[in-house]
Amino acid sequence: DGGITQSPKYLFRKEGQNVTLSCEQNLNHDAMYWYRQDPGQGLRLIYYSQIVNDFQKGDIAEGYSVSREKKESFPLTVTSAQKNPTAFYLCASSEQGGTEAFFGQGTRLTVV
């Protein structure tokens, strides 16, 4: 089955620790995205990548980092510099050219 896989589903970390969220897609999509979702707020774009080895900051990139070494993979690292890391993180992918994005099932990160 083609789709987007995010892992893990739930993640707990202590304050001050970096943590990496996994996102893999087998849809052969060029573009991949990371969004953050908080209660009462719309999805906010963290980073996006339109091609391997290239990525751009979204609206709330501070405290996050990404890499895009393979077309299928777009991991997100939440660093200790992110002041409010507890949130629901969503990865998505799309074809180039203005088409719809398809989402993974999300990772809920809780920092204690």
Partner 1 sequence: EDQVTQSPEALRLQEGESSSLNCSYTVSGLRGLFWYRQDPGKGPEFLFTLYSAGEEKEKERLKATLTKKESFLHITAPKPEDSATYLCAVQAGGGGNKLTFGTGTQLKVEL
Q: Which is nearer to partner 1, 18 or 96 (CB)?
A: 96
Beta strand segments in the chain, E: 4-7, 10-13, 19-25, 31-37, 44-51, 54-57, 64-66, 76-78, 87-94, 102-103, 107-111
Residues forming contacts to partner 1 in the complex (CB under 8 A) are 4, 6, 31, 33, 35, 40-45, 48, 50, 56, 58, 90, 92, 94, 96-106, 108
Beta bridge partners, 45, equal 35
Q: What is the spatial distance between Cα 28 and Cα 30, in angstroms, rounded to a whole number?
A: 7
Q: How far is the CB of 57 from partner 1 (least distance, A)?
A: 11
Q: Which is nearer to partner 1, 77 or 88 (CB)?
A: 88
Q: How far is the CB of 5 from partner 1 (least distance, A)?
A: 11
Q: Which is nearer to partner 1, 80 or 101 (CB)?
A: 101
Secondary structure class of 28 (helix, strand, coil): coil
